[in-house]
Amino acid sequence: MYDLAKALISFGNDVVVIRPYPLNSGYWSVDRIKGVTVLSLYTVRFVDVSYFRRLFAEVSWLFTLGPLFKSSPMGHCKFDLIVCYSPSVFLVDLCKQIKEQNSCKLYLVLRDFFPQWLLDLRLISDGLLFRWFSKIAIRQVHLADVVGVQTESSVCRFRQLYPFFSGRLEVLHNWLADRPMAPSEFNLAETKLAGRRIFVYLGNLGVAQNPQLIVGLVRELAHRTDIGFVIVGRGEGVTKLRETEFRSPSTNLLVLDEIEPEEVPALLSQCYVGIVSLDHRHTADNIPGKFLSYVNAGLPVLANVNRDSDLMRVIDDYRIGYSCSTDSSTDFSSTLLRFFDNRCDYNEMRLRARYLALNRYRPEVAASQVLRVL
C-alpha cells in the first residue's frame, strides 16, 4: 500500500495508512514513514506464526481495532475516501466505523476471494467456520461502493460469489513503483552459484504456492552445473528447503531470508529468470506481487499456474517468458530447460517485460482509477 499511498499524495491528497501492528508499547502510534503518515493500531503478532495464531490475531481485529482507532489522534479526523485492501476481510468493522462516521465512500481493493481459496485448497471444509468467514466477506462487499479485482476472469468469479453487489465492479491492476538500485549485501558471484544462470523465487512460498513443486524442481536439476536457484522469502516451502540444505547441502541452491523491498532490484539484477508457482486448485486467478517485481526489473518469467489463467495469458501474449500447468517437477524442469536453451529471444523478453511493467502496473495508474470514486 505504500506505493499507492505515495501516488495518491502526488495527486495532492492527504493520506493516512492505518495498519494493525505488534507495537512494543502503547495501543496506537502515529509515525511518518518515508513521507507517509502511518497510524499503527496494536495487535498481537500475526506474521511468521502458526495458522491458528494468525487466525486468532486477525479475528480479534473485529473487536479491537475500532475502539483503538477511536482513541487515537486520527479518531476524529475527517476522511473523504476509504481504500480498503483485502486480504484481510477482518478489517471490515473498522472500515464500517470510519465510513459511517464520515459518510464517505469506500473502494475495496480485492486481491483474493477469502475464504473460497481456503476451500479450494482443502484447508477447511464447507462447514460452520467456512460459512462464518463467508458472512464476514459478504459484509465487506456490502460496505463497498466500488470493488477493484485483479483480472478479467476475477470479475466473473466475483459475480458468481456476490451476485447481490450493485456497485461498480472493475479491474484494478496491481502496482509497483520503481525503486533506486540500493546496495545489496548479496553478491551471487561470490557464492557457490558463481558462474551459473540464476532462476530466482521471490516472496512467500506457502501452501498456496505449491512448495513441493519448487522443492522438486531444485532436486531435478541438481546435476546441472550451469543452473542455480535462489529462494528468497518465507513460508513452509522455504523452511523445508532450509532443512534439506542443513541435512544435505546442495551445490545449486541458495536460500535467503526475506529482504527489504529496497534490496530487491539489486538482487534481481544478478538473476536470469523469475519463477512463479501457484497451486492449481485455486478457482480464482491471481497476479502475485513477485510477478510485478520480476517484470519491473525487466526479468523474464517462468510460471507454473492454472491453464488458461490470466497470468498465463499475460506471459504468452506479451511474450515475456514460458508458462506451463503441471504438478510434475519433471515436467516443470523440462519447461525450464526449454527456456534455458532458447536464448535468442532473451534480451527482447527483458525489454517486453519492462514495457509491460511501465504501461500496466504503475501506482499512478491505480491511484487515478481509485480517485474516480469521488
Q: Are residues 160 and 88 located together in one domain of the fold?
A: yes
pLDDT confidence of residue 181: 77
Spell out, as residue ranges, where the chain has pLDDT lower than 50: none
| Phi and psi, residue 371, nearest 5° | -70, -15
Same-domain check for residues 23 and 159: yes
Task: Assess whether 166 and 231 both reside in one domain.
Answer: no
Same domain, 198 and 335: yes
pLDDT for the residue 246: 67
Kindly report the pTM of this predicted structure. 0.89
Count Cα atoms within 13 angstroms, Cβ side, for 279: 20
Same domain, 85 and 152: yes
Query: Residue 183 domain-assigned?
Result: no
Show Cβ contacts of residue 68 under 8 Å, excluding neighbours closer than 6 positions: 27, 28, 41, 42
Q: Based on the fold, state whether residues 171 and 74 are members of the same structural domain.
A: yes
Answer yes or no: do 166 and 197 share one domain: no
- Helices 310-318 and 152-161, interaxial angle, to 10°? 170
Predicted local distance difference test score (pLDDT) of residue 316? 92
Report the domain count for the chain: 2
In a domain, 182, yes or no: no
CATH at residue 148: 3.40.50.2000
Domain that holds residue 197: 188-360
Q: Which residues contact 357 (CB under 8 A, 6 or more apart)?
A: 176, 292, 295, 296, 298
Residue 121: partners with Cβ closer than 8 Å, 6 or more residues away: 207, 208, 279, 281, 282
Same structural domain for residues 109 and 135?
yes
Q: Let me know whether 160 and 220 are in one domain.
A: no
Separation of CA 4 from chain center: 14
Residue located via cell numbers 519463477 = 275
> Quick one: pLDDT at residue 75?
93
Question: Do 352 and 367 belong together in one domain?
Answer: no
Evaluate the omega torsion of the peptide bond into residue 180 and state whether it is cis, within 30 degrees of 0: no
